[in-house]
Amino acid sequence: MPAYNSARSITICHGGSTVPKFLIAFLLLLLALLPACTSEPSKPAEHPAAPKAPAQPTLYSGREAITKMYIAARNWAPDCKPFRLESQPTKEANGQDGKSGIWRAGFASANRRALKTFVWSGIKSEDAPEPGITFSSEDSYNPSNASTQIFDIAFLKTDSDAVAKTADQHGGDKLLKKEPTSNVNYVVDWNHAENKLLWHVIYGPNRNEPKLKIAVDASTGEFLRAEK
């Protein structure tokens, strides 16, 4: 039988055939690497989806809200002017800081002899209007009606958050200490007798039966009186 150089080959018993050493080394290396190449990376453990946090309400001051609604109202009637602005307290925002998640504004057009109510909402809930700006259908407008006296929005120089501080200094703070969760409403309209635009700051759960009502000049921010 011919002799083989042990440095170059090795004899495999089955059948007496020989395989070069470098090929065996290569096969062993391939076998060692094969699990690493074919195994899939471990997947992170799946966790149930975390519940979404409820959307936070968007709160605006009176001037911020009426400015947005005025733009929408002018698309309806370019000559329109506001005659009333009022807030609506909710469980998300009671109005104590002078801001609200819902504001309503009435606008009247002399050319169309019509009026519309616009609503801005920054709250998404079942008991609130759709977020954004919505509006009512047209209603008739009588310029001589004292409850719909239009005003120039430029007279609204003092915003509701500043008015809240003024009203608190004239009795509001004392009431809120006794009733810390009390709602505070804000209403703006034109006082024909005084020829002024007034803020009415109304404390209490029922706007029609206020615990306290403060009148503030909407142009100067001056305290005027406690209203009955």
**How far is the C-alpha of 8 from the C-alpha of 24, rounded, in Å?**
11
Mean pLDDT for all residues in the chain: 85
The confidence score (pLDDT) of residue 47 equals 55
pTM of the model: 0.76
Across 165-173, average pLDDT: 97
Q: Given this model, what pLDDT does residue 128 score?
A: 85
pLDDT, residue 37, reads 47
Residue 42 has pLDDT above 60, yes or no: no
**Is 122 in a helix, a strand, or coil?**
coil
Is residue 3 pLDDT above 70, yes or no? no
pLDDT band at 43 (very low <50, low <70, confident <90, very high): low
Most confident range, picked from 11-15, 166-170, 204-208: 166-170
The pLDDT of 123-145, averaged and rounded, is 91
CA 46 to chain centroid: 32
Q: With a cut of 70, say whether residue 5 has pLDDT above it.
A: no
**Picking from 13-22, 86-95, 133-142, which range would have the lowest pLDDT averaged per residue?**
13-22
**Statement: residue 13 has pLDDT above 50:** no
* Residue 59 pLDDT > 90: yes
Q: What's the pLDDT at 46? A: 57
DSSP 190: E
Cβ atoms of 213 and 201 within 8 Å: the answer is yes
Give the pLDDT of residue 186. 98
For residues 22 and 167, which has the higher predicted lDDT (pLDDT)?
Answer: 167
Res 29 pLDDT > 80: no
pLDDT, average across residues 197-206: 95
Mean pLDDT of 132-161: 96
Specify whether the CB–CB gap between 65 and 119 falls below 8 A: no
Q: Which residues of 165-175 are buried (b: 16+ CB within 10 A; e: fewer)?
A: ebbbebbbeeb
Assigned token pair, 113: 């002899």
Give the residue among 43, 126, 116 at the shortest CA–CA distance from 92: 126
Q: Give the tens place of pLDDT for each residue, 79-114.
A: 999 999 999 999 889 999 999 999 999 999 999 999
Over residues 56-77, the mean pLDDT reads 96
